[in-house]
Amino acid sequence: MADYINKQVIELNKVNEENQNRATRSVKTETQLSDNRGNETAEIDQLQKERDDLMTKFSNLKQTCPEGWQKFNSRWYFLSTVKKTWKESRKDCLERGADLVIINSDMEQQFLFGVNKRAWIGLTDSVTEGTWKWVDGTPLTTPSYWFSQQPDNGRDNPENGEEDCVELNTETWLPVKAWNDQSCLLNRYWICEKVV
């Protein structure tokens, strides 16, 4: 009988010990899991940070180098390298997600004068003779930068034809006196403008 009881006690102790071991293992596993979770969270944070850094770099890159464009006062300007009629020039700008340049200030006028090319700008009186409108439909109000005697609509001489489009003539004239109305069918360089 005593033997039997002893055996049972030993057996119970064994079971007890095993249970304790199991409990210890389970605590260890839990710690391990929570450590892993911690590592995963850190890894996700790191990846998100890397992604944000790359997004910033990418958008900076986009801002700094569209081919052939230059930035001035949060606007982008494209100066063509070939010459076209006013209408074809405008079409090219629209295809670039822009439009022919609209000049809003002395600073912009001075800047554009600096491109040093005879170029079309986005101003025309082709709808109503003598009523100048920008390509966005707004009427020309001050400031305007006509050369003296301009606009003259080809001196209103029918032999010269109508002059309904505006070129920036930077060859010899003053920066703030550089607009000339010209026949829209002549080929000129052109300047596109867009907001980025």
Q: How many residues bind Ca ion (CB under 5 A)?
A: 9
DSSP 8-state assignment for residue 67: T
Which of 89/163 has CB closer to Ca ion?
A: 163
Task: Select from 152, 173, 176, 186 the one that contacts Ca ion (CB under 5 A).
Answer: 152
Stretch that binds Ca ion, among 26-34, 62-70, 138-146, 162-170 (CB under 5 A): 162-170
Report whether 145 contacts 174 (CB < 8 A).
no
Q: Quick one: which of 167, 5, 144, 142 has its CA closest to 83? A: 167
Report the C-alpha gap between 147 and 73 in whole angstroms.
25
144 binds Ca ion per the rule CB under 5 A: no
Task: Select from 93, 119, 140, 163 the one that contacts Ca ion (CB under 5 A).
Answer: 163
Distances (CA, A) of 11 to 2, 19, 57: 14, 12, 68
58: which 2 tokens?
A: 């990418």
164 binds Ca ion per the rule CB under 5 A: yes
167 binds Ca ion per the rule CB under 5 A: no
CB of 53 to Ca ion, least distance (A): 34
In one letter, which amino acid is 188? R
In one letter, which amino acid is 81? T
125 binds Ca ion per the rule CB under 5 A: yes
Report whether 181 contacts 166 (CB < 8 A).
yes
Residues 90-119 that bind Ca ion (CB under 5 A): 102, 104
What is the contact surface with Ca ion in residues (CB under 5 A)?
102, 104, 125, 152-153, 163-164, 180-181
